[in-house]
Chain A
Amino acid sequence: MIKDQDYLKKTATFCIDLAKKLGATDATATVGHSISETVNFRNRKLDESDRSDSLGVGLTTYIGKKKSSISSSNLKEDNIKTLIERCIETTKITPEDEFNSLPDKDLLATKINDLNLYDDDHIENEEKIEYLKEVEEAALEKKEIINTETGFSESKSNFILASSDGFLNGYKSSSYSASCIAVAKNADNKMERDYEFTSTCHLQDMLRPNQIGSLAAKKTIQKLNPQKIESEKISIIFDRRISKGMLSVLASAISASSIARGTSFLKDKINEEIFSTSINIFDKPDIIKGLGSQYFDDEGVKTKELKLVDQGVLKHYLVDTYYGKKLNLKSNGRSGGTSNLYFEKGSISYKNLLKLNQKTLYITETIGHGSNLVTGDYSVGATGFMVENGVFKYPVSEITIAGNFNDMFKNITLADDLEFKYSTNAPTMLIEGMVVAGK
């Protein structure tokens, strides 16, 4: 069973009280517990079961403007005591930093409207196995599929955030996910791999198993017999799997830490047009059952909806207490990053987006860590499809795509097919003027 709020509150309060007693002027503590159970299947046979039970505490102590942290999964009282003593000793010799402080009291979350983030349903491993059998049956219906690996995971968590300012709040959340990775083989024994998955906050909202299996199989088979193409400047469409990555880049680049440290290509771009005027971007923490929903941020600061980009213009950085003080901005509850981040959907249909150019490269997967947030340069390995006059012609692989985010952001056209499958979501996206390197 997942530990209840009372247990977590008691532990957190114990830590805060002891830290204060030992000389901390301020302290914050997080106590979290999670239990997850996973079953993996491969080629119609049970492959692995995994049960995880994790309880942990994190504590930060302040002595004036000095700060230090500890964390532990060993919650025995004498161990916690030793660690807190160590934390206080460390804090004493750590240099002062004028920006170290707890969040402003008036910004802390007070009332909480239920967002329905916890589902008490428990699904036994036997039922998980039945679900995965159906996933695999659907995938293996296709003769090209030679291997399937599927998994079903259920996870329940509870946590408490406490501070010496009196903040003491937390909540339960749940997550259910299932996935299918399929491998297909062609006549020359060359293989390709692709996947499909579902991840939800409530059990009943999961996709049906046969949908996952057949989509994974279809996506994998489409990738067989890829070609390498010539190097050229070309219009690129990012599938929704990839287009959301542009938002992750944006979120990193407008975090107060990157801005304050001067290591972002978007430094000093507040109130400037960084996207074309058709682009609006929201971060909305209060979506019912949302995968990125939250009541408050890592510091207990209440989170409200932000329109980060309004008609192409950057309106907000993502601000926490520390870097906010450095930038002379108030925290907007984004310590720990964004919540449900998304592009407002575009006005053109998916089909018409494919037809906008006579020739388009449609990207379904990128590999490598090719985003440089300091310069905005982007270069990654990619696989996808060549699209001519709106029709998928053949799969493409062993190519790279490259550009610079400053240019890419200004050349985005969005389709109207936004869906909320992840915590960060984007519609299918066309970007003009990127360079593909192939032969």
Chain B
Amino acid sequence: MTDFFNKTDLSRNDAEKIISETLNNCDDGELYLENSKSESIVLDDDKIKSSTYSSDLGYGLRAVTGEVVAYSHSNEISRNSLKQSADNLSSTLKSKKGVYNYQIPKTNEKFYKDINPIEEKSLQSKLELLKEVNNYTRAKSGIVQQVTASFSGEHKSIEIIRSGGEALTDVRPLIRFNVSVMLEKNGKKETGVYGIGGRQSYDEYLKDDNWKKVCDEAFRIASVNLDSKPAPAGEMKVVLGPGWPAILIHEAIGHGLEGDFNRKKTSAFHNLMGQRVASEGVTIVDDGTLHNRRGSLTIDDEGTPTEKTVLIENGILKNFMQDRLNARLMNTRSTGSGRRESYKHVVLPRMRNTMMLNGKYSQEEMIKSVDKGIFAVSFGGGQVDITSGKFVFNCTEAYEIINGKIGAPIKGATLIGDGPSILKEVSLIGNNMMLDPGIGTCGKAGQGVPVGVAQPSILIDKMTVGGTQL
């Protein structure tokens, strides 16, 4: 645990005093302190291309009154600096008549261990493994032209000090291992990317030659794409594979169910609470409590314990995801979804691990039922326009389906749909729910936070596929 008041002229008592004075007559707010260490080691082009280590320290002071948020952050933890921030907040918040809520829920549960993954594996062994990854992947075939492999690790220690001096702490480890392969055959080039990670030590993910499976998968995706033909253009049936394709749920539904957009009535979902927004049988939850998962948090960045929030139950919209500000203004409670990228950022309601739960069909049954469509197995990124509800995501591995059978692989294409209506087009839900491998980062308002997704295979009756073949 970091002692943020070590080696500074700011004592904990001073800080508590400044916080309580600044937050007098405010509805909410806190001093958020953060000490993060991170590393990134990249092998590329047969060489260790970069090895970087970063140590970041800073605070953010936040005061909330009514709908107004005043925020000031700095990386200088000192008496002067904090006073300057407090003055800046007070100058913004002229009329304050809030009532501070001292009662926030507590937890004793922890969803990951207090470890520093960077120090748990020696640099030497990381460098050696990257070399081994490179050799192993290049030895798979003569058509391998480029291999990029990387480790990234983080150890983030936070403390939240609220008005009155209540302090909450959390230590968050996070790692990721990634492999990208480029193949070239007959003048045609394709890449395949795969990665794994979460909130445990590197070796938990790499042991038992698990790293080879990551290389194999990246190579397999690239190989499939080497034989791909142009994707079709137009509306058709789409079968989504299990696991990572659930970023469809994240983009199409997840963002639209975040509290801020609904309080401001700018989400296409804001007036649909209690109504049917998905086919019967569709249940979607956002869960921050899964052990060691990338999107999990013991407490959120306001100090609220996370939970498993039911968003859609059997097709009916049940809950939005809330931080404390939006929860208060919408007369509900925080779902432990208040997150920020770092001390440099304000808290926003965000997703954690977003999951569609199992139905009863097998993937084979779904594919058999499709005369003409596509089977999408793997994806790159996605994006959504919250207000119109239109969302996209990019296939990185997909196949055509003809007369109930999986056919040739097709080139990466964008799929586009309409958030509020897409889940009504879900006609079959699989029984094979899978979690993603632990690689997702969600972007919102310029802030990136780690997230997870999960789903079984699903059949969507109508979606537009953005290929080039008419």
A72 contacts across to B, CB distance below 8 A: 54-57
Q: Which of A111-119, A206-214, A338-346, A373-381 interfaces with chain B?
A: A373-381
Interface positions, chain A 136-150, Cβ under 8 Å from B, are 146-147, 149
Given A51-B72, A93-B127, A437-B467, does the pair A369, B380 have CB atoms closer than 8 Å?
Answer: yes
Instruction: Please state if B382 and A368 are interface contacts (CB–CB under 8 Å).
Output: yes
Give the distance to chain A from B468, nearest Cβ to Cβ, in Å. 5
Q: State in angstroms the CA–CA spacing of A226 and B388 once bound together.
A: 10
A51 contacts across to B, CB distance below 8 A: 71-73, 85, 88
CB-defined A-B contacts under 8 Å, sample of 15 = A51-B88, A52-B74, A53-B72, A69-B52, A72-B55, A86-B53, A95-B127, A193-B388, A368-B382, A368-B394, A370-B392, A370-B412, A398-B390, A400-B414, A438-B464
Q: Does B143 contact A (CB under 8 A)?
A: no
B453 contacts across to A, CB distance below 8 A: none
Q: Which residues of A come within 8 Å of B, CB atoms?
A: 39, 42, 45-56, 67-76, 78-79, 83, 86-87, 90, 93-95, 97, 125, 146-147, 149, 183, 189-193, 223, 226, 228, 231-233, 260-263, 365, 367-370, 372, 374-375, 377, 379-381, 383, 397-404, 435-439
Instruction: Please state if B464 and A399 are interface contacts (CB–CB under 8 Å).
Output: yes
Q: Does B264 contact A (CB under 8 A)?
A: yes
A90's partner among B53, B67, B76, B416 (CB-CB below 8 A) is B53
B392's partner among A97, A380, A439 (CB-CB below 8 A) is A380
Residue in B51, B67, B265, B383 whose Cβ sees the most chain A Cβ within 10 Å:
B51
Instruction: Please state if A69 and B51 are interface contacts (CB–CB under 8 Å).
Output: yes
Q: Does B346 contact A (CB under 8 A)?
A: yes
Q: Which residues of B come within 8 Å of A, CB atoms?
A: 7, 44-45, 47-58, 67-76, 81, 85, 88-89, 91-92, 123-124, 127, 145-146, 182, 184, 188-191, 231, 233-235, 264-266, 268, 271, 344, 346, 380-388, 390-394, 411-418, 464-470
Main secondary structure of the interface of B (DSSP, over half): strand
Contacts A71-B55, A74-B56 known; 4 new A-B pairs at CB < 8 A:
A74-B57, A125-B92, A192-B387, A379-B467
Q: State in angstroms the CA–CA spacing of A368 and B392 once bound together.
A: 6
Q: State in angstroms the CA–CA spacing of A64 and B91 once bound together.
A: 53
B68's partner among A47, A147, A261, A368 (CB-CB below 8 A) is A47
Instruction: Please state if B467 and A374 are interface contacts (CB–CB under 8 Å).
Output: no
A401 contacts across to B, CB distance below 8 A: 466
Give the distance to chain B from A334, nearest Cβ to Cβ, in Å. 18
Instruction: Please state if A402 and B467 are interface contacts (CB–CB under 8 Å).
Output: yes
A435 contacts across to B, CB distance below 8 A: 233, 467-470
Q: State in angstroms the CA–CA spacing of A187 and B58 once bound together.
A: 48
Main secondary structure of the interface of A (DSSP, over half): strand
Give the distance to chain B from A205, nearest Cβ to Cβ, in Å. 24
A437 contacts across to B, CB distance below 8 A: 233-234, 416, 464-467
A263's partner among B146, B266, B271, B418 (CB-CB below 8 A) is B146
Instruction: Please state if A381 and B52 are interface contacts (CB–CB under 8 Å).
Output: no
A193 contacts across to B, CB distance below 8 A: 266, 385-388
Q: State in angstroms the CA–CA spacing of A284 and B66 once bound together.
A: 48
Give the distance to chain B from A267, nearest Cβ to Cβ, in Å. 9
Closest 5 CB pairs of A and B: A400-B466, A381-B392, A437-B233, A368-B392, A193-B387
A79 contacts across to B, CB distance below 8 A: 55, 57
Instruction: Please state if A369 and B383 are interface contacts (CB–CB under 8 Å).
Output: yes
Q: State in angstroms the CA–CA spacing of A225 and B286 once bound together.
A: 32
Residue in B53, B271, B411, B415 whose Cβ sees the most chain A Cβ within 10 Å:
B53
Q: State in angstroms the CA–CA spacing of A114 and B418 once bound together.
A: 50
Instruction: Please state if B146 and A261 are interface contacts (CB–CB under 8 Å).
Output: yes
Give the distance to chain B from A221, nearest Cβ to Cβ, in Å. 13
A380 contacts across to B, CB distance below 8 A: 392, 414, 466
Given A69-B52, A86-B53, A437-B234, does the pair A53, B414 have CB atoms closer than 8 Å?
Answer: no
Instruction: Please state if B51 and A90 are interface contacts (CB–CB under 8 Å).
Output: yes
Q: State in angstroms the CA–CA spacing of A90 and B53 once bound together.
A: 9
Q: State in angstroms the CA–CA spacing of A147 and B7 once bound together.
A: 47
B465 contacts across to A, CB distance below 8 A: 400, 437
Given A368-B381, A368-B383, A437-B465, does the pair A69, B55 have CB atoms closer than 8 Å?
Answer: no
Q: State in angstroms the CA–CA spacing of A374 and B190 once bound together.
A: 7
Q: State in angstroms the CA–CA spacing of A65 and B305 once bound together.
A: 49
Q: State in angstroms the CA–CA spacing of A379 and B464 once bound together.
A: 12
Nearest chain A residue, comparing its CB with the CB of B8: A76
Instruction: Please state if B381 and A369 are interface contacts (CB–CB under 8 Å).
Output: yes
B57 contacts across to A, CB distance below 8 A: 72-74, 79
Nearest chain B residue, comparing its CB with the CB of A80: B55
Give the distance to chain A from B315, nearest Cβ to Cβ, in Å. 21
Q: State in angstroms the CA–CA spacing of A398 and B234 once bound together.
A: 11
Instruction: Please state if A73 and B390 are interface contacts (CB–CB under 8 Å).
Output: no
A93 contacts across to B, CB distance below 8 A: 123-124, 127
Instruction: Please state if A375 and B127 are interface contacts (CB–CB under 8 Å).
Output: no
Instruction: Please state if A74 and B75 are interface contacts (CB–CB under 8 Å).
Output: yes
Instruction: Please state if A73 and B91 are interface contacts (CB–CB under 8 Å).
Output: no
Instruction: Please state if A399 and B416 are interface contacts (CB–CB under 8 Å).
Output: yes
Instruction: Please state if A400 and B54 are interface contacts (CB–CB under 8 Å).
Output: no
